[in-house]
């Protein structure tokens, strides 16, 4: 799930979020794949948007990279990487 909230008292410029997911099974990483890539949108003041994506995998580790850019000029607002172990199931 991607949750984006505008903490400002004004609307944002059009923003384009993207979540790229890379999975690891054993010792090798799979090719990174864009899993969340909606059309650019504007958040009004204090507005929050939740975007869900179900990912079925047999991987033991998942690496995600979140990038949020301003659509008009490509300026990167957020660029974060996360890694999380997948519980066996």
Q: How far apart are alpha carbons 64 and 18 in whole angstroms?
A: 10
Provide the strand spans (E) within the chain. Answer: 2-5, 15-25, 28-29, 33-36, 48-51, 61-70, 76-85
* Tokens 């984006």 found at: 4
Say what the pTM is: 0.88
pLDDT of residue 89: 66
Q: Which two tokens stand for residue 40?
A: 């650019």
pLDDT of residue 49: 97
* Tokens 């957020």 found at: 78
List, in order of start, the domains of the chain with CATH numbers. Answer: 2-85 (2.60.40.10)
Identify the band that residue 70 occupies on the pLDDT scale cut at 50, 70 and 90.
Answer: very high
pLDDT of residue 25: 85
Residues 35-54 have pLDDT tens digits of 999 999 999 999 999 999 99
pLDDT of residue 40: 97
Who's near 74: CB < 8 A, 6+ residues apart? none
């Amino acid at each position: 799930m991607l949750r984006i909230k505008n903490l400002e008292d004004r609307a944002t410029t059009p923003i384009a979020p993207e979540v790229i997911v890379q999975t690891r099974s054993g010792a090798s990483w799979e090719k990174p794949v864009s899993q969340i890539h909606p059309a650019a949108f504007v958040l009004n003041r204090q507005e929050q948007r939740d975007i869900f994506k179900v990912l079925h995998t047999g991987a033991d580790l998942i690496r995600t990279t979140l990038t949020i850019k301003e659509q008009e000029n490509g300026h990167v607002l957020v660029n974060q990487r996360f890694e999380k172990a997948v519980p066996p199931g």
